[in-house]
Amino acid sequence: MDKRLLILALGMFALGTDSFVVAGVLPAISQSFNIDVGLAGQLTTAYAIAYALLSPTIAALAASVPRKKLMLSGLGVFVIANLATAVAPSFGLALLSRVFAGLGAAMYAPTATGTGAMIVQPEQRGKALTIIVAGLTAATALGSPMGTVIGGLGDWRWTMVFVSAIGLIAATGIALLLKHIPMPPKVSLRARVAPLSDKRVGLVLATTLLAMAGNFVIYTYFSVVFDRVLSSTALFGALLVLWGSGGTLTNLVLSRLLDKFGPRWVLVVMLSVLVVDMALLPWTSAQLWSSVLAIGVWGIAGWGIMGPQQYRLVGLAPTTAPVVLGLNTAATYLGVTAAGVLGAAGLHILGGHNLALFAVLLFALAAMTSELATRSIAGPDDAKTLGFSGP
């Protein structure tokens, strides 16, 4: 396997770990700054919204900047920002540092995926993108639990140092291994957001936003939702591994499911399972055995949404696939942003043990927008792309 791709994936692993790991140390952060858990959860919100809004902007404005320089600059900002979070004396400064961490991630992520496609042969580009994006998936299964355990054994601030260390290793690898990186064609910001004028693309992106908000309204406040069974840091980490591993399992079989049943029916099943799983969570989260089952199902179905969504978008806009996939990433992190705000409100309105009822509503809305996208077809080719015609 090309070592350059592994280094790029390691950078994505650092970014993904930073996205997910705050949820694992949220109680410690709230105690450290003497604030409630809902407010502490806005650290995730600040990172996510900066990442979502700045990614397409920076990709357009920095189109003429050499790729290696832009990635190293992004990782440099990312590493320094996470170290700033680790030493922040107040919550306000910690929140500001998370915005800068999101800026660094926005500089790195689209550049790394584009670089991966440029440094390999055309017939290997699909594999290259899969390897790089796998860094994000691995972050849920490994990075976040590792950071949670580090925070539990020591202090949550060491968790942020851990994230910085991963970013620094990735930057070192890029500096040493990536020599010449071809410049991609320039795509203006207007061209990057142009697909939003297509109603079908807009509805698919709305589905991503709502579904990811449903996932992360629970994940961000995991420690509160499952506090009745979290008896140790090791168990906390193990349950996070279970959730991330569910996504890894889904990714292994998803391509066959999409080819056989089409994206529409995969989404119908996944979202229906999530609605039922979340509706039962106020009761299943009270016992360890039922929590394990609920988290496993949630991981499998929750991560089973992204593949069909990407399948639909590439089918709708094959000539601008990198652009629409970038918009899908932005929608994902806007969903994470919404989850942090909605979850904080839900903790006060419903309480932590009933927070999953918010997720039920979000997944139900995602199912509605998914069906609206399917029915907004213009012809038989669209019907096939969107999975309308069925298996």
Q: Does residue 139 share a domain with residue 213?
A: no
Q: Does residue 199 share a domain with residue 50?
A: no
Q: Which residues contact 323 (CB under 8 A, 6 or more apart)?
A: 187, 191, 192, 194, 195, 317
Question: pLDDT digits over 239-293, tens only?
Answer: 988 888 877 677 667 666 776 777 888 899 999 999 999 999 999 999 999 999 9
Which residue do the tokens 């030493």 mark? 87
Measure the CA–CA gap between 12 and 114, rounded to whole angstroms. 13
Q: Does residue 239 share a domain with residue 176?
A: no
Q: Does residue 250 share a domain with residue 219?
A: yes
DSSP 183: P
| Cβ proximity of 184 and 125 under 8 Å | no
Q: Which of 136, 167, 186 is the last residue of a domain?
A: 186
Q: In this predicted structure, what is the pLDDT of residue 130?
A: 64
Q: What is the DSSP string of 286-355?
A: TSHHHHHHHHHHHHHHHHTTHHHHHHHHHHH-GGGHHHHHHHHHHHHHHHHHHHHHHHHHHHHHT-GGGT
Burial class from Cβ neighbours inside 10 Å (0-12, 13-18, 19+) for residue 187 reads middle
Which residue do the tokens 């394990």 mark? 292
Q: Which of 186, 211, 233 is the last residue of a domain?
A: 186
Domain residues for 173?
Answer: 1-186
* pLDDT > 90? residue 117: no
DSSP 164: H
Question: pLDDT digits over 3-34, tens only?
Answer: 888 899 899 999 989 988 888 888 889 999 99
To the nearest whole percent, how much of the chain has pLDDT over 90?
A: 40
| Cβ proximity of 245 and 141 under 8 Å | yes
Query: Which CATH number do you get for residue 291?
Result: 1.20.1250.20
Q: In this predicted structure, what is the pLDDT of residue 126?
A: 62
Q: Does residue 344 share a domain with residue 300?
A: yes
Q: Does residue 160 share a domain with residue 30?
A: yes
What is the domain count for the chain? 2
Q: Does residue 179 share a domain with residue 260?
A: no
Q: Does residue 87 share a domain with residue 135?
A: yes
Going by pLDDT thresholds of 50, 70 and 90, the confidence category of residue 112 is confident
Count CB atoms within 10 A of the CB of residue 154.
Answer: 13
Q: Does residue 275 share a domain with residue 199?
A: yes
Q: Does residue 209 share a domain with residue 124?
A: no
Q: In this predicted structure, what is the pLDDT of residue 261?
A: 74
